Amino acid sequence: MAAGDIKTKNRDVPMDRVRNIGVIAHIDAGKTTTTERILYYTGKSYKIGDIDEGTTQMDWMEQERERGITIVSAATTTFWTVTDPNSPVGNESFRVNIIDTPGHVDFTAEVERSLRVLDGAVTVLDAEETVQSQTETVWRQADKYKVPRIIFVNKNDKLGANFEGTVKAVIERLGANPAVMAYPIGAEQSFRGVVLLLERKALIWQGDETGAKYTEEKIPDEVEDKVEVWRAKLIEQICETDDTLLEKFLAGEEPSIKELKTALRKAVIAYKLVPVYAGASLRNKGVQPMLDAIVEYLPSPADIDHVKGINPKTGEEVIRKTINEEPFAGLAFKIQADPHVGRLTYLRIYSGTLKAGQTLYNASKDKEERISRMLLMHANKREEIDQAFAGEIVALVGLRETATGNTMCDKSSPIVLESITFPEPVISLAIEPKTKSDQEKMGYALSKLSDEDPTFRIKTNHETGQTIISGMGELHLEIIVDRMKREFRVEASTGAPQVAYKETVKKTAEAEGKYIRQSGGRGQYGHCLIRIEPLPRGTGFEFVDGIKGGAIPNEFIPAVEKGIKDAMENGVLAGYPTVDTRITLFDGTYHDVDSSEMAFKIAGSMAFQHAAKAADPIILEPIMKVEVSTPDEFMGDVIGDLSSKRAQILGTDKRGRLTIINAYAPLAELSGYATKLRSLSQGRASYYMEPSHYEEVPKNIAEGIIAKSGKTA
């Protein structure tokens, strides 16, 4: 077998024995470590990967191993059998497709696209840090796609670990309904196992070795009372989701464990309860009960039953059952440039079957594409397959036009599934090749990388001829430049990071654009009148065709819109894109002979510039949500420093021995913040930030931005 190829046993398991799950969490909560343990215990890998040693299977990129973080979501397939006689799903072998997602906010697109195609998720929490900011963000993303999940409270062996405090934070900060299934025995240094509450079983792991072996023991006296309290609460929670069990419960009769587990499975899939497990992945404790829970409580593709979409030809809603017998439909959720096989398109199959060599219809782009090869992925290794079925996640080779979020289907039964929405980039920098020979290679590398990553944008500044790249944060762009160097052998220099400002207007105004040229032969004539008005933040752009009585012929209206859109790209104040406006084209005139699309495009552009200047234009800046964790003694200094950065302090929380400061701060003021925070706190404070919203820039700062841009308003 060739290097990089793997062989998967008994692939053709029935759909109800497949689990498509993701591992999601805040950075450093232990997602990749937990995933590595899952692979080890399921027999997928023979040696446990270690982040610190750079030997993990899922973090396979050089940059991931060097930095100890996950950058791209990696997919793998493994198998697990539950041995519990009361299992609600039986004791067969289950196929588990796992996607390990990044925790860093700069790679939010990887989490978003993974959640869109997963049936269930494991949320990993740190028992000391409890619910952190990024956990809230990924939790909201999972809510958006209605993904059932279980919680694994990791790091119970860490100093300051607080399992009950973490469960409380899940209720308060995530608004979830946690059902505690496993209660930890001991905490911090003395953490040694868990009690499975329903079965009243104590599982004790001896030592920190690979931990595949644990013993069942009597429940230790120190947790016996706690176990009974939490068990009674758990049974009551489960019974409340099922009328039959509730009747039994109210009559004073305890339902059987099998009945409780079966009801719990339904409640998890309906997102009424979230089972909570405890462990310490790095010390190899508590992972197996969580693996059982993945199989027992998270849904299979068969539980999802159907997907909804739109027929692109008629605009009507289509319901497609998630079975092999239905016409084929799948969603492309990730594009990856593979050095060995070229462009890989990751696809989640929702209905029907797929064969290598088949021609597919891209309903989102109205194009046909042919699959040359079909692969099952294990991180960056692969296995070639001939056929794939509903519920599977596969990688296809040969699709050239397909992009992230496109629906692939059978041409005779077209359907467009709900796509994936991505946030806008907030930071950009100028990049240029170091040598002439790197010029062409850089263009190729950037286009390949933007194919893979929908939050990475490239644009050329026509005035300066510079290439500008934009992304979700400094780390995001740093990784992109690093990947260009390593994967595409392109040497490039970059400018200082620039904040992605935007422009908008504060009031309504009307203006006309008139373009008339007479120069021998046929002339040019385009004339339009538009109204510009502000829209709420984050709305984007809306174009309204208000032409009555054919004042401008229909064929020229798209040209006016295109002219306006082009002009909006460079704003009127400092050259930044204009957003959150509605533009209504309400009148104009045309010439039978001289009018053309080009003339109306130029007229639209002129009209926009006049209207925007008259509508009180302003500059908007990205505001970041910042969370600083600091020991109490540095709190005053940290708050003082944030205030000097135009930050709005939202409040503080206590979390263990640390104080958490929450604030909104302009991205423009946060350059080099990591170094500043380290020096303020003797290296003991840490921070996390994510894009929140856009706000108007104060007048004195706006004047500086306009002066720097060299534009005259």
pLDDT, position 202:
94
Strand partners, 523: none
3-state DSSP assignment of residue 659: strand
Q: Model pTM greater than 0.85?
A: no
Please report the domains of the chain, with CATH numbers, ordered by start residue. Answer: 16-303 (3.40.50.300), 305-417 (2.40.30.10), 427-500 (3.30.70.870), 503-615 (3.30.230.10), 620-709 (3.30.70.240)
Instruction: Give tens-digit pLDDT for 228-252.
Output: 999 999 999 999 999 999 999 999 8
Q: Which two tokens stand for residue 301?
A: 């593709």
Closest by CA to 288, choosing from 203, 178, 230, is: 203
Burial class (CB in 10 A: 0-12, 13-18, 19+), 674: exposed
Compute the radius of gyration of the chain from its Cα atoms: 28
Mean pLDDT in each 10-residue stretch from start to end of the chain (713 residues)?
35 79 80 77 55 43 44 64 89 82 57 78 91 82 88 93 94 92 93 94 79 83 94 95 92 92 95 94 89 94 86 89 90 77 84 90 92 75 82 87 88 86 80 84 86 82 76 80 84 85 95 87 89 92 92 94 94 92 96 92 96 96 91 93 95 84 93 85 83 92 87 55
pLDDT, position 547:
92
- C-alpha–C-alpha distance, residues 615 and 611, integer Å: 6
- C-alpha–C-alpha distance, residues 711 and 713, integer Å: 6
Instruction: Give tens-digit pLDDT for 634-661.
Output: 999 999 999 999 999 999 988 777 898 9
Strand partners, 509: 532
682: left (phi over 0), alpha (psi -120 to 50) or beta: left
Instruction: Give tens-digit pLDDT for 1-59.
Output: 233 333 344 456 788 888 988 888 877 777 678 877 877 777 654 444 454 444 444 43
> What is the DSSP secondary-structure string of 684-709?
--EEEEEEEEEEEPPHHHHHHHHHHH
CB atoms within 10 A of CB 204: 17
Tell me the angle at which helices 133-144 and 108-117 cross, rounded to the nearest 10 degrees.
30
57, 45 in Cβ contact below 8 A? Answer: yes
Q: What are phi and psi of 368, to 5 degrees?
A: -105, 145
- C-alpha–C-alpha distance, residues 55 and 446, integer Å: 29
**Dihedral of CA 161/163/164/166: which sign?**
positive
For residue 474, the one-letter residue type is E
Provide the edge-to-edge strand list for the sheet that holds 524-534: 509-517, 524-534, 581-589, 541-545
Closest by CA to 169, choosing from 53, 378, 29, 299, is: 29
131, 174 in Cβ contact below 8 A? Answer: yes
pLDDT, position 283:
86
- C-alpha–C-alpha distance, residues 84 and 181, integer Å: 15
pLDDT, position 143:
87
pLDDT, position 480:
83
Q: What are phi and psi of 356, to 5 degrees?
A: -60, 140
Non-local CB neighbours of 593 within 8 Å, separated by 6+ positions: 522, 523
For residue 355, the one-letter residue type is K
Tell me the angle at which helices 257-269 and 287-297 cross, rounded to the nearest 10 degrees.
70
In the numeric block, the tokens 């397959």 are attached to 385
Helix, strand, coil percentages in the chain from 3-state DSSP, rounded to 5 = 30, 35, 35
- C-alpha–C-alpha distance, residues 338 and 448, integer Å: 10
Tell me the angle at which helices 635-644 and 673-680 cross, rounded to the nearest 10 degrees.
150
pLDDT, position 47:
45
> What is the DSSP secondary-structure string of 131-145?
S-HHHHHHHHHHHHT
- C-alpha–C-alpha distance, residues 265 and 306, integer Å: 19
Q: Which two tokens stand for residue 218?
A: 């009597």
Instruction: Give tens-digit pLDDT for 147-165.
Output: 999 999 999 999 889 999 9
pLDDT, position 284:
87
Strand partners, 651: 662
Instruction: Give tens-digit pLDDT for 667-691.
Output: 999 888 888 888 898 888 888 888 8
